[in-house]
């Protein structure tokens, strides 16, 4: 398995890299600013028998996407690209003055354009992976229930993930049969995400609310969601493309 995981210094990206790591896996660990976190992820992967290369890069910048992908070029192939990097701004949906055009553009640049640019840069290596393995290479876009149901940290975030979902459908159609493109749409994930946006107390409130309201009474861990990301990234999902897979412990019910 040769794979790139964007934003893998922390949270879901780090958990996904760790789960993909195994004897013979070759992984590109990407970070924007948290070098220490990325090195720690890489060390965990190496301890599991993987080869792990750490590359700094901001997925909203096309030249950085090309540099991230270049780290996989010596392998001559990619089996999976996990577009996990994401950002938000926490603003109540009815506070329309809380979001500027720049907020929308900044969030869209990372959450929507980033995955597009990463896929564009990685396309030829993914196609080479498909030809070498005899089955389609996998792109997994880490989206959110925000993009399905309109709930989430802000209207700009919801709009960026909605766009990522519809882009997943068009790219799945356009890039078959050599590349599969699916999205995972998590509900809550217990990562640094909410602590960054709402502080420790705010994050605990969200966690407690999810655990109380989700039918399965689970506030999903990064590993819980990573297992679905890895399923979509690997051969067990080889007949799936263009799927938006909700993973929210039944919260939507
Ligand atoms: P996180 O904040 O730990 O991870 C996001 C990572 O992306 C960070 O390491 C960050 O540095 C990196 N990143 C941000 N902008 C970047 C850029 N331009 N280029 C490269 N890396 C960049 O939070 P978490 O929860 O692990 O988030 C991962 C993904 O999961 C995101 O796409 C997020 O939208 C999505 N998600 C998170 C949910 C949650 O409840 N935590 C729920 C649903 C979706």
pLDDT at 127: 98
Identified catalytic residue from 31, 108, 116, 157: 157
β strands within 57-124, DSSP E: 80-83
Give me the CATH number covering residue 230.
3.40.50.720
The residue contributing the CA closest to ligand 1 atom 16 is: 85
Between the CA of 193 and the centroid of ligand 1 the distance, in Å, is 7
168 lines ligand 1 (CB under 6 A): no
Ligand 1 atom at minimal distance to the Cα of residue 157: 34
pLDDT at 10: 97
Q: Which of 86, 187, 207, 251 best tests ligand 1's pocket when mutated (most atoms within 8 Å of CB)?
A: 86
- Long-range contact set of residues 145-150: C-beta below 8 Å, sequence gap at least 24: 145/185, 145/186, 145/187, 145/246, 145/248, 145/251, 145/252, 147/183, 147/185, 147/244, 148/185, 148/244, 148/246, 148/252, 149/252
pLDDT at 214: 97
Indicate the DSSP class of residue 59.
T
Percent of the chain whose pLDDT exceeds 90: 97
pLDDT at 120: 98
pLDDT at 140: 98
Task: Tell whether 98 is covered by a domain.
Answer: yes
32 lines ligand 1 (CB under 6 A): yes
Between the CA of 6 and the centroid of ligand 1 the distance, in Å, is 9
Task: Tell whether 252 is covered by a domain.
Answer: no
| Mean pLDDT within 168-196 | 96
How confident is the model over 19-50, as pLDDT tens digits? 999 878 999 999 999 999 999 999 999 999 99
CA gyration radius, the chain: 17
| Mean pLDDT within 75-104 | 98
38 lines ligand 1 (CB under 6 A): no
- For residues 143 and 244, the answer to whether their CB atoms sit within 8 Å is yes
- For residues 15 and 222, the answer to whether their CB atoms sit within 8 Å is yes
Percent of the chain whose pLDDT exceeds 70: 100
pLDDT at 141: 99
pLDDT at 24: 85
- Copy the structure tokens of residue 30: 């990407």
**Domain, as residue range, for 74:** 2-247
Please, what is the angle between helix 35-47 and helix 11-20, to 10°? 20
* SS3 of residue 56 by DSSP: strand
The gap between the terminal CA atoms of the chain, to the nearest Å, is 36
- Copy the structure tokens of residue 211: 């655990």
Task: Tell whether 12 is covered by a domain.
Answer: yes
- Asked about 108 being catalytic, the answer comes back as no
Q: Reply yes or no: is the peptide bond before residue 177 cis, omega within 30 of 0.
A: yes
Band of pLDDT at residue 198, cut at 50, 70 and 90: confident
**Burial grade of 47 (CB within 10 A; 0-12, 13-18, 19 or more):** exposed
Task: Tell whether 253 is covered by a domain.
Answer: no
The residue contributing the CA closest to ligand 1 atom 23 is: 193
pLDDT at 77: 98
| Mean pLDDT within 227-243 | 98
pLDDT at 43: 98
- For residues 6 and 85, the answer to whether their CB atoms sit within 8 Å is yes
Average pLDDT value over all residues in the chain:
97
pLDDT at 23: 74
pLDDT at 109: 98
Task: Tell whether 31 is covered by a domain.
Answer: yes
Number of domains present in the structure of the chain:
1
- For residues 21 and 50, the answer to whether their CB atoms sit within 8 Å is yes
Query: Of 29-38, 192-201, 224-233, where does mean pLDDT reach its minimum?
Result: 192-201
pTM above 0.75, yes or no: yes
């Amino acid at each position: 398995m040769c794979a790139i995981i964007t934003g893998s210094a922390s949270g879901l990206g780090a958990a996904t890299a760790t789960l993909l790591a195994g004897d013979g896996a070759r992984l590109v660990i990407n970070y924007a600013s948290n070098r220490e976190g990325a090195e720690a992820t890489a060390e965990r992967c190496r301890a599991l028998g993987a080869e792990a290369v750490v590359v700094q890069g901001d997925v909203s910048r096309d030249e950085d996407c090309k540099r991230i992908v270049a780290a996989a070029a010596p392998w001559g192939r990619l089996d999976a690209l996990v577009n996990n990097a994401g950002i938000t701004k926490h603003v109540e949906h009815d506070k329309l003055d809380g979001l500027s055009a720049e907020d929308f553009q900044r969030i869209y640049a990372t959450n929507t354009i980033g995955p597009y640019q990463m896929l564009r840069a990685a396309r030829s290596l993914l196609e080479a992976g498909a030809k070498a393995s005899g089955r389609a290479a996998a792109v997994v876009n880490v989206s959110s229930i925000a993009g399905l149901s309109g709930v989430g940290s802000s209207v700009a975030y919801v709009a960026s993930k909605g766009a990522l979902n519809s882009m997943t459908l068009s790219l799945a159609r356009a890039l078959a049969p050599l590349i599969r493109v699916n999205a995972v749409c998590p509900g809550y994930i217990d990562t640094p995400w909410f602590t960054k946006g709402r502080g420790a107390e705010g994050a605990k409130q969200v966690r407690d609310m999810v655990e109380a309201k989700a039918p399965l009474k689970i506030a999903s861990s990064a590993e819980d969601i990573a297992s679905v990301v890895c399923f979509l990234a690997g051969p067990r999902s080889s007949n799936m493309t263009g799927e938006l897979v909700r993973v929210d412990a039944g919260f939507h019910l």
